Amino acid sequence: MSKKKLFLRIGIGLVAFLVLTAILLPSILQWAGLHPKYEGERYSFSDKRALIITTSHGELGDTGNRTGVYASEMTIPYYEFSDSGIQVDVASIRGSEIPIDPMSMRYPLITPSDWRFRKDAEFQNKVINSLSIIEVDFSQYDLILLTGGWGASYDFGNSEILGERISEAYAHGVILGSVCHGALGFLQARDTNGMPLIYGRRMTAVTNKQVEELNISITPMHPETKLRQSGAEFESVSAFRDFFATHVVVDGLIVTGQNQNSSAETANIMMRILNERHRQQ
């Protein structure tokens, strides 16, 4: 065989290998732990309401890079709730259009729920015209989920309004949840005795290890550090990269997920608690 034909075959083989790898990459990443499929129990409700809360912050410090909510932390719970018959509203710290981290909507990180969102005019309208937390009565919901993304590190933990609204929801027995940086939304909340809501409570959120591995230390609040400083009993699991780890912690009516991989499980455990409450009534 001539060298020309040999190099041609090698080139064709290399191209085929790269194309196949590109096609299989999302499946490979899922096998490694990214956005695992939820295989647990499913639920069906009527006359129940859920509120998903996101950041309103869309810039990563002074880097010029865009950020916001990590898409799947919003889209996966949204469809887990809505597919179970729950009416889902979407709110953000300031209201109006919610910034979405552009990286989370790109290949190979984009999820089936993100693709579904791209074709869902009703959901898109809720994101473009999100409610402001100041105008929402949190006590009227059965479930409230705080989503993450780097943007939440800028506006969740220092929002007095969010702290007040979460405190009111907790006092009314609303089932509360968070994913990743969303746990920062609990920092200013209080229990019915006026004590910090998270003090002594088992919780999880994105780890310092994951923040360091992704080299995003520029953000002002790191959930693991803040939760520990506020007296929470922080729990997490690790992986070769924590971006591929997943963990969910339940403490009473509060359900917290470690990172984006925990979105579906967190939403479904919240519904499990709601279902158990419904059976007891």
The tens digit of pLDDT for each residue in 116-140 reads 999 999 999 999 999 999 999 999 9
Q: Tell whether 88 and 212 lie within a shared domain.
A: yes
- In whole angstroms, what is the distance from residue 211 CA to residue 219 CA? 9
Can you give the CATH number for the domain in which 51 is found? Answer: 3.40.50.880
CA angle 196, 137, 114 (to 5 degrees): 90
In the chain, which residue ranges form alpha helices assigned H by DSSP? Answer: 3-32, 71-82, 112-118, 121-128, 152-155, 160-171, 208-213, 223-229, 263-280
Q: Tell whether 156 and 242 lie within a shared domain.
A: yes
Q: Tell whether 23 and 155 lie within a shared domain.
A: no
What local confidence, expressed as pLDDT, does residue 18 receive? 46
User: What is this structure's pTM?
Assistant: 0.93
Specify the higher pLDDT residue, 217 or 161. Answer: 161
Tell me what the mean pLDDT of segment 83-89 comes to.
Answer: 98
Look at residue 170 and tell me whether its pLDDT is greater than 70.
Answer: yes
What local confidence, expressed as pLDDT, does residue 28 receive? 81
Look at residue 29 and tell me whether its pLDDT is greater than 90.
Answer: no
Residue 130 lies in a domain: yes
Look at residue 60 and tell me whether its pLDDT is greater than 80.
Answer: yes
Q: Give me Rg for the CA atoms of the chain.
A: 20
Q: For the CA atoms of 244, 275, 273, 153, what is the dihedral angle to 10 degrees? A: 50
Quick check: 261 and 197 in contact, CB under 8 A? no
In 55-119, which residue ranges form alpha helices assigned H by DSSP? Answer: 71-82, 112-118
Tell me what the mean pLDDT of segment 193-205 comes to.
Answer: 97
Angle in degrees, 0-180, between the axes of helices 121-128 and 71-82, rounded to the nearest 10: 130
What local confidence, expressed as pLDDT, does residue 31 receive? 86
What local confidence, expressed as pLDDT, does residue 244 receive? 95
Residue 39 lies in a domain: no
Quick check: 124 and 117 in contact, CB under 8 A? yes
Single out the residue of 182, 183, 188, 181 nearest to residue 165, CA to CA.
188
What local confidence, expressed as pLDDT, does residue 11 receive? 60
Tell me what the mean pLDDT of segment 20-31 comes to.
Answer: 72
Look at residue 16 and tell me whether its pLDDT is greater than 60.
Answer: no
Look at residue 181 and tell me whether its pLDDT is greater than 90.
Answer: yes
Domains held by the chain: number = 2
Tell me what the mean pLDDT of segment 49-72 comes to.
Answer: 96
Q: Tell whether 63 and 174 lie within a shared domain.
A: yes
Angle in degrees, 0-180, between the axes of helices 263-280 and 71-82, rounded to the nearest 10: 30
Single out the residue of 164, 154, 157, 179 nearest to residue 133, CA to CA.
164
Q: By percentage, how much of the chain surpasses pLDDT 70? A: 91
Both tokens assigned to 181: 């940086």
What local confidence, expressed as pLDDT, does residue 279 receive? 81
What local confidence, expressed as pLDDT, does residue 3 receive? 62
Look at residue 15 and tell me whether its pLDDT is greater than 70.
Answer: no
Q: Tell whether 58 and 17 lie within a shared domain.
A: no
pLDDT band at 209 (very low <50, low <70, confident <90, very high): very high
pLDDT band at 24 (very low <50, low <70, confident <90, very high): low
Look at residue 22 and tell me whether its pLDDT is greater than 70.
Answer: no
**Range(s) of the domain holding residue 267:** 44-280
- In whole angstroms, what is the distance from residue 90 CA to residue 74 CA? 9
